[in-house]
Amino acid sequence: MNGKNRIHNLVSCAVFKTSIGWCGLVMERGKVRRFSIGYASPRQLKRHIRNDLGDDICFKHSAAMKMIIQKLMHYCSGQKVSLSRVPMDWSSLTPFERKVLRAAARIPYGSVVTYGGLARKIGSPRSARAVGNALAKNPFPLFVPCHRIIKGDGSIGGFSARKGIILKKRLLNMERLQSTRLIK
């Protein structure tokens, strides 16, 4: 493999600070492979990324990465930003997980859906728990806004990102969901 191809095939990572904590954007071949949010320090986040992906990571970022980071920074500062056109690498997910996450990606900013409601949207009305399990494996939080999915009784439900439910509540509040639009 020549040097140019090796660089192209490296996993690129950017670690940056936002109002919700340190975030890490991991890309490979022009697609988001993983996004981590809510870390207390860059050292902690880099350790997590290296433990997850190994040491063959380049901590330099391309122009495309910089544009995505800029969108994320705007989102984290409370601006309504669309992240739906960002290319993502879905290959690590099962077909069911992809179906769930793609449906969750279509939940509009400022809206919430229940786990059961999302299960109905994907044609599996009795699989609310399986939907929750798929959301727990979401490698693209914010891009796939799993924080917008709540329990059927209106309570917050879980959140697998760092800082868990505290961060989920903060994201929902940031989107001004005190006057939430519930999509059935």
For residue range 82-126, what is the model confidence (pLDDT) as tens digits? 888 899 999 999 999 999 999 999 999 889 999 999 999 999 999
Query: In angstroms, rounded to a whole number, what is the distance separating the alpha carbons of residues 69 and 62?
Result: 11
- How much is the mean pLDDT over the chain? 86
Q: What average pLDDT does range 44-73 have in this prediction?
A: 84
Give residues with Cβ within 8 angstroms of 137, minimum separation 6.
93, 97, 160
pLDDT at 147: 93
pLDDT at 7: 45
pLDDT at 177: 46
Kindly tell me if the per-residue pLDDT of 130 is higher than 90.
yes
Starting at the edge strand found earlier in the chain, the sheet holding 21-28 runs 31-39, 21-28, 11-18, 57-58
Q: What average pLDDT does range 19-25 have in this prediction?
A: 92
CATH 1.10.10.10 fits 95-183, yes or no: yes
Q: Which residues make up the CATH 1.10.10.10 domain(s) of the chain?
A: 95-183
Q: Are 103 and 173 a contacting pair, CB within 8 Å?
A: no
Among 62-76, 78-92, 121-135, top mean pLDDT goes to 121-135
Give residues with Cβ within 8 angstroms of 114, minimum separation 6.
128, 149, 150, 151, 152, 182, 184
Q: What average pLDDT does range 30-37 have in this prediction?
A: 92
Catalytic (active site) residue 146: yes
Higher pLDDT, 58 or 24: 24
Q: Are 89 and 32 a contacting pair, CB within 8 Å?
A: yes
pLDDT at 183: 53
Pick the catalytic residue from 13, 23, 76, 146: 146
**Residue 139: Cβ within 10 Å count:** 20
What's the angle, vertex CA 75, arms to CA 65 and CA 184, rounded to 5? 115
Q: Which residues make up the CATH 3.30.160 domain(s) of the chain?
A: 3-76
pLDDT at 148: 94
Annotate 24-54 with DSSP letters as a single string.
Answer: EEEEETTEEEEEEEEES-HHHHHHHHHHHH-
pLDDT at 178: 37
**Cα–Cα nearest to 142, from 37, 11, 27, 19:** 37
Annotation: CATH topology of 3-76: Double Stranded RNA Binding Domain (3.30.160)
Secondary structure letter of residue 83 according to DSSP: -
